[in-house]
Amino acid sequence: MQSIDDIVINFKPEQLFFLNICLGFLMFGVALDLSLRHFRDLFRAPRKPLIGLFSQWILMPSLTLVLVFLLRPAPSVALGMILLACCPGGNVSNYAVHLAKANSALSVLMTSVSTLGAIAVTPLAFTYLSQLIPGTESLRASIQVEPANMIRTILLLIIFPLALGMGMRHYFPRLTAKIQAPVKYLSMAIFLSFVVFAILGNLDNIYRYLHLVFLLVVLHNGLALTMGYFFAKATGLNQADRRAIAIETGIQNSGLGLILIFNFFNGLGGMALIAAFWGIWHLISAFGLAMYWRSTPSAKVMGA
């Protein structure tokens, strides 16, 4: 059987263009819920979001490095894990936090700040951390990722649609209120449809190699959720904040990860499989955890 480091996921240029459009539309949908007030709140009461961002930007990549060194996955799989750990929070986390009766405002703030910060954090952190992974020298030699090119991609796919959505919310509030719900449902339906068609086009690769990443993704995601929760608990945050930070730490923007993999890594098999399955699994884990937490009475949630 062909090595997972050597396989290339079947992905046509027009599919990549469609995925780019999907991600931009998803980011536009997130931006319709944001305003400059969310960013002003970060400076007025920075403790909670800073704890959350530390969990997401520092602890999550650190946990990933530890897993890579302990479990020794294939080099391309390890690169995929690192790239996901360097991506911003996924927009589905906001809905999961809402379902969990947690701190939705904190979730939205973390998602927006980590997404805006991704313009620098994602390419620079990945460039540095990927050099620490043993066995990736040949892959990094054949696939040179320039941080400037990754930054340009993130600008077009994240920053521009975020600015467009926030601008529409500010200047056309009535129109925004009417389209918010339809845009959310439509963007999710489009993205899930894309995932389904991408899976159908790669059933052979999935059948052969999914067992190599299934348990790894489940373990990685589960530890990230657990770590985020107990780190927030250790810093004295209440239950609602702990839940928000746990979900924000464990839900990564796998759509952005896939975009970067197909734009800069030629659909490298291990990386693409990790990102694709993470995108499916974190929906299951986030909503499952949210529904479990939802059964807790709100008075208990807001307590210490």
pLDDT confidence of residue 257: 83
The span from the CA of 78 to the CA of 128, in Å, is 14
Q: How far apart are CA 154 and CA 149, in angstroms?
A: 9
**Exposure string over 22-35, b if 16+ CB within 10 A, otherwise e:** bbbbbbbbbbbbbe
| 126 contacts 82 by C-beta, under 8 angstroms | yes
Alpha-carbon span 86 to 99, nearest angstrom: 26
Give the pLDDT of residue 57: 94
Q: Are 55 and 252 in contact (CB under 8 A)?
A: no
pLDDT profile of the chain (304 residues), mean per 10 = 55 61 74 71 80 95 94 88 88 77 81 79 85 70 56 72 86 88 77 66 68 87 96 94 94 82 75 82 84 71 46
Q: Please report the pLDDT score of residue 297 as a whole number.
A: 59
In sequence order, what are the beta bridge partners of 89?
Answer: 252
Q: What is the pLDDT at residue 233?
A: 95
Task: Please give the pLDDT value at position 302.
Answer: 46
pLDDT score of 165: 86
Sign of CA dihedral 294, 296, 302, 304: negative
- Which letter does DSSP use for residue 296 in this model? S
The number of beta carbons lying within 10 Å of the beta carbon of residue 78 is 29
Helix (H) or strand (E) holding 87: none
Decide yes or no: CATH 1.20.1530.20 for domain 13-301.
yes
Give the distance, in angstroms, between the CA of residue 41 and the centroid of all CA atoms in the same chain: 23
- How far apart CA 225 and CA 244 sit, in angstroms, is 10
The whole-number pLDDT of residue 300 equals: 47
Q: Give the predicted TM-score (pTM) of the model.
A: 0.75
**Rounded Cα–Cα distance for residues 111 and 87 (Å):** 11
Domain boundaries, the chain: 13-301
Q: How many CA atoms lie within 13 A of 168 on its CB side?
A: 18
- Are 231 and 51 in contact by the 8 Å Cβ rule? The answer is yes
- Tell me which residue has tokens 């059964």: 295
In the chain, the largest separation of any two C-alpha atoms, in whole Å, equals 57
Q: At what angle do helices 269-294 and 75-86 cross, to 10 degrees?
A: 50
Helix (H, G, I), strand (E, B) or coil at 33: coil
Rounded to 5 degrees, what are φ and ψ at 34? -110, 155
pLDDT computed for residue 53 by the predictor: 93
Closest CA to 80 of 235, 271, 227: 271
